[in-house]
Amino acid sequence: MQIRDRIKELRRVRAADLRPHPLNWRTHPAAQQDALRGVLAEIGYADALLVRELEDGALQLVDGHLRAETTPDATVPVLVLDVSAEEAKQILLTHDPVAALAGVDSDRLTELLADTPFESEHVTALVDGLARDAAAAEQLLDSAGERPEVAIPESFQVVVQCDDEDAQRDVYERMTQEGYTCRVLTL
């Protein structure tokens, strides 16, 4: 597989100068905003925003809208991508969801959580939520293995194909008169 490098350059620009993508579908609840402010306060920028250059030279966000909104006066790192408007929409649709598909190594997460304190109560709440979610997922997987086998009783059925609704009604009536439990299906 040939994989293209779509990054043209790294720039540092004022966040307020970045244009939001008009189709950004991600929303940012208060808890996420608070957690991001906490991470930025304790760590700072450790990741670049993704942008594409428009025909007029302006930079349009593809990823990083909340970071740009949170620190409008900051000079932020941006990766300028060599992508079309259509490709930018593809990235907008897939960038976060692909990352969200990652699984959890519970042992490593537990170790990381135990050894990594944060000053921000919002970031602490975020990582505590990770621990709770991981524990709940592990418990669910453990309990799935303990479920008793469900016994499905034998059932013997006959499906009769009829030429039309009248023939279906005739077969149904004959079979119910003979004592069979019947259902009428139209497929």
Domain 7-100 annotated CATH 3.40.50.620: no
Instruction: List, for residues 133-143, the tens digit of each pLDDT value.
Output: 877 777 766 66
Strands 49-53 and 75-81, by their bridges, are: parallel
Question: Could you tell me if 80 and 7 are in contact, meaning their C-beta atoms sit under 8 angstroms apart?
Answer: yes
Q: Model-level pTM? A: 0.71
Give the CA radius of gyration of the chain: 28
Nearest to 129 by CA among 40, 47, 29, 49: 29
Query: How far is the CA of 152 from the CAs of 77, 144, 145, 149, in angstroms?
Result: 60, 18, 19, 9
Extents of the domains making up the chain = 7-100, 106-143, 158-187
pLDDT per residue as tens, the chain (187 positions): 889 999 999 999 999 999 999 999 999 999 999 999 999 999 999 999 999 999 999 999 999 999 999 999 999 999 999 999 999 999 999 999 998 888 888 888 888 888 888 999 999 888 888 878 877 777 766 666 666 777 778 878 888 889 988 999 999 999 999 998 888 877 7
